[in-house]
Structure 1
């Protein structure tokens, strides 16, 4: 998949109100879910016990931690864009994060990103992107959010 290359503030600004791109799908595995549980100490059975989930869960499967899927935002974003001529990038915030549908084990997700806002703060580009994380084969997304980054261009 070809990435969108952005070299400076003006090129970022040209995407205002437009879609920047869509990532490829990535599959969420039980191994990823288990490692995330280890990292966060969140061992709720709905995530980590496939046998119990098959019997007791309304989804008949384990589901990914919502925050596991959120933690993939940076990876999905960088599958879409290649921002060049940058000294530093800061993850500044997430607003209006709304989970809409669980991601089941082995589901594939991707991000669709559009530029909602951009401001020049004395040479620092403050960008806000709307990210919709879709689940392959589902009409409802897993979640959407407004994510803010600070790009310090050279």
Structure 2
């Protein structure tokens, strides 16, 4: 796990990849739980038999938004902002899902600091996030993730 001591160090790392998360397995149970939580039960996510017959992937695939929802946990797994008392997810500027996530895939995130902006009571960090699938040839999710940090 990478530790970043303070805001000055964070600023010095702008433009650099700073951390790589551990691998996370995408199980059918995780996909089904997400489908239940979001009421998105599209067959491509939850119907393995139909996927074997009709899907170009031959198996169920994770929701793009499930992959995206894993970003905060992957960030927390990969690094620690030592001097931060509270961090909040502020939003996203860009999100793309260039490749599918078949059930059983293992994913990890590459994290790059794109920018740091001062706020009256803290700072905003713009993260470049590229989530890759083990054995995949391109990312499964690319996003610009905005985090607000407070002392």
TM-score class normalised by the smaller sequence = over 0.9
1:114 maps to what in 2?
A: 112
**Whole-Å Cα distance in 1 between the matches of residues 37 and 98 of structure 2?**
24
2:88 counterpart of 1:90:
yes
Unaligned runs of 5+ in 2: none
Provide Cα deviations, 1:36-87, integer angstroms capped at 9, x if missing partner: 1110111111100111111110100000011111110001111111112323
Structure 2 length-normalised TM = 0.96
2:124 maps to what in 1?
A: 126
**Whole-Å Cα distance in 1 between the matches of residues 125 and 33 of structure 2?**
31
Q: CA RMSD in A?
A: 1.0
**Whole-Å Cα distance in 2 between the matches of residues 130 and 30 of structure 1?**
28
Provide Cα deviations, 1:69-121, integer angstroms capped at 9, x if missing partner: 11100011111111123232121111110110110000111100111000122
Query: How far did 1:136 drift?
Result: 0.6
2:21 maps to what in 1?
A: 23
Query: How far did 1:122 drift?
Result: 2.7
**Whole-Å Cα distance in 1 between the matches of residues 36 and 144 of structure 2?**
28
2:141 counterpart of 1:143:
yes
Query: How far did 1:141 drift?
Result: 0.7
Instruction: Point out the more displaced range, 144-153 or 83-92.
Output: 83-92
Q: How many residues align?
A: 151
Provide Cα deviations, 1:5-31, integer angstroms capped at 9, x if missing partner: 123211211211111111121110000
